[in-house]
Amino acid sequence: MSSLNRPASDGVSPPLDTVLNGLAHPVVAFDHDGEVTYANSSAQVRLGGWIVGLSFADVFPGHEMAFDRAASAGEVTLTSRAHVQYRGLFGAPSATGVALSLLPEEAADASTALAEADELTGLVKRNGLNARLEAALAFPAGDGKWVTVHCIDLDRFKVINDTLGHGVGDLLLKKVADRMRSACRKDDCIARVGGDEFVIVQNGVVDRSDAERLAARLVDLIGRTYVLNGHTVNIGASVGVAMIERGNSARDLLRNGDLALYEAKRAGRGRFRMFETGMDAALRDRRELEIDLRRALALKQFELYYQPFVDLSTDTVMGFEALIRWNHPVRGRISPADFIPLAEETGLIAKIGEWVLRSACMTAATWPDEMTVAVNISPVQFKSDNLVATVVSSLAHSGLSAQRLEVEITEGVLIENTDHVLKTLHALRDLGIKISMDDFGTGYSSLSYLQKFPFNKLKIDRSFVQGAEAGGDNEAILKAIAGLGVSLGMAITAEGVETSEQLDRIRDEQCTHVQGYFTGRPMPADGIAAFLSR
């Protein structure tokens, strides 16, 4: 066996192995009998995976005579078993055998592309990825192995880049690249195809579990804590995995990987998804829904419903929360959980949110003077520089006083661009508007948020209310949040109260307000007067 093929522990020079595997073109070593004793990473990709132990005739059928000329150390033209033509150059024979370097006749430019590395991470660039993928797929189907792509997006990378600077962001990308290398085999191709977007080509996968193991490993490794220039940084990774038999299209494979990546993000990020046939139909449905969403506002398909919240000290309705509904002419009633994330992704939430704010203020202006209206504001809306102006305009147009408007935000608002968000929140508070943190306890729940900004109200998520059985964990969480709010002088609203037993428990925990089906279901604006009269 040639020394090139020995593992490092057997004496091969690690630098030599690194150099050979870093070459864009295939390098293969044969013993004097024509048996493959070594193949670098590029050779394994282009010539069909692990070829060590095969004969020259196996790798290059019909070219046995060419090997006989190896002793003269000349140039030959060879056609591989995948029917790809190469220009081959034999090195001078040694005591252990002879080495062969290969360059595709029809793809010199592609080979050059493979050699180009991303300057920051040292990974393959997009053009190199395409060349490597085409080579991996060139072999006919039927050998029982699959070519697999892992399409990877980093979660929360933009937040790190924006808050800690591009220097820390660049260092983070380098660390991510290192962790990917540690998760992959030497013959896997790792490419950086965008700012925080990566693709890994996993060649020669035997079954689905092989791909799943690598995807799970990537999610785990990338999601572990980083310490960069004195900063503790946490991000995540969403991974879409697609498998395809050799002989198929690279374009289809990458497209399927992207579809699976979209599903991983939609499922909550920090996870992987394998491509399934139905994902294609799901994407088409999403695109149709986006088209309909763009028309919905102009066609007046949105409607606001209002759910009351009750003051426990007086058992009276203090106000209502405005909740958007979409009445689609074909699909029927569409849940906000299905269309609000899409509106945020597409930027349509700005116009929809402005309509909600104006409509809610106009409706609330017709209620008794002590009644307030609560409006949810999306994190995307908070990125806008004109949110305060929109609020002021809505109040002026409706005649509603600022003291009767309550703005509800989730913890996600405070994750990105905190300084800008805090400035906006203070501007709203200065107008006399009340600020509530919605779904407290389900997000990051950082107490630093409560220190940075004094909220008027905390709303405890319904999951803690409905699961607050005596002595359970949810009861302890409910009690802790309520006690925190009381100590900070904040009102506490418990959401999702559906039974008298839950209401009694809420009273015991010092909550100040309740909201849920037991005290009042969401209703259209024209049903509020009758509800109040009852």
pTM of the model: 0.58
The CATH number that applies at residue 92 is 3.30.450.20
**Residue-level pLDDT at 377:** 93
Q: How far apart are CA 501 and CA 465, in angstroms?
A: 11
| Domain shared by 336 and 394, yes or no | yes
Q: Supply the DSSP symbol for 139.
A: S
| Domain shared by 138 and 70, yes or no | no
| Domain shared by 80 and 97, yes or no | yes
CB 260 within 8 A of CB 151: yes
Q: How far apart are CA 243 and CA 237, in angstroms?
A: 19
Closest residue by Cα to residue 375 from 424, 427, 435:
435
**Residue-level pLDDT at 357:** 97
Domain edge (last residue) among 253, 276, 299: 276
Q: What is the pLDDT of residues 136-151, one digit of tens each?
A: 776 544 556 788 999 9
| Domain shared by 71 and 123, yes or no | no
Domain edge (last residue) among 244, 276, 308: 276
396 burial via Cβ count (<10 Å: 0-12, 13-18, 19+): exposed
Q: How far apart are CA 242 and CA 29, in angstroms?
A: 33
In a domain, 14, yes or no: yes
| Domain shared by 16 and 142, yes or no | no
Pairing between strand 226-228 and 372-376? unpaired
In a domain, 43, yes or no: yes
**Residue-level pLDDT at 174:** 94
CB neighbours of 147 closer than 8 A, spacing ≥ 6?
133, 136, 137, 201, 202, 203, 204, 205, 243, 244, 245, 246, 253
Give the residue ranges of DSSP H helices in 208-310.
Answer: 208-222, 250-266, 278-296
Residue found under tokens 């309705």: 317
Q: How far apart are CA 252 and CA 250, in angstroms?
A: 5
Residue found under tokens 């690690």: 14
| Domain shared by 360 and 419, yes or no | yes
CB 111 within 8 A of CB 103: yes
| Domain shared by 158 and 212, yes or no | yes
Q: What is the pLDDT of residues 233-267, one digit of tens each?
A: 889 999 999 998 665 678 888 989 999 998 898 88
Q: Specify the 3-state DSSP secondary structure of 419.
A: helix
- Count the domains in the chain: 3
The CATH number that applies at residue 306 is 3.20.20.450
**Residue-level pLDDT at 3:** 37
Domain range enclosing 83: 3-106
| Domain shared by 196 and 70, yes or no | no
**Residue-level pLDDT at 311:** 93
| Domain shared by 342 and 454, yes or no | yes
506 burial via Cβ count (<10 Å: 0-12, 13-18, 19+): buried
Amino acid, res. 486: V
**Residue-level pLDDT at 467:** 65
The CATH number that applies at residue 190 is 3.30.70.270
In a domain, 281, yes or no: no
| Domain shared by 477 and 522, yes or no | yes
| Domain shared by 79 and 168, yes or no | no
Q: How far apart are CA 265 and CA 345, in angstroms?
A: 12
**Residue-level pLDDT at 358:** 96
CB 376 within 8 A of CB 408: yes
Low-confidence ranges of the chain (pLDDT < 50): 1-15, 106-115, 140-141
CB 309 within 8 A of CB 516: no
Domain edge (last residue) among 255, 276, 297: 276
| Domain shared by 101 and 119, yes or no | no
In a domain, 17, yes or no: yes
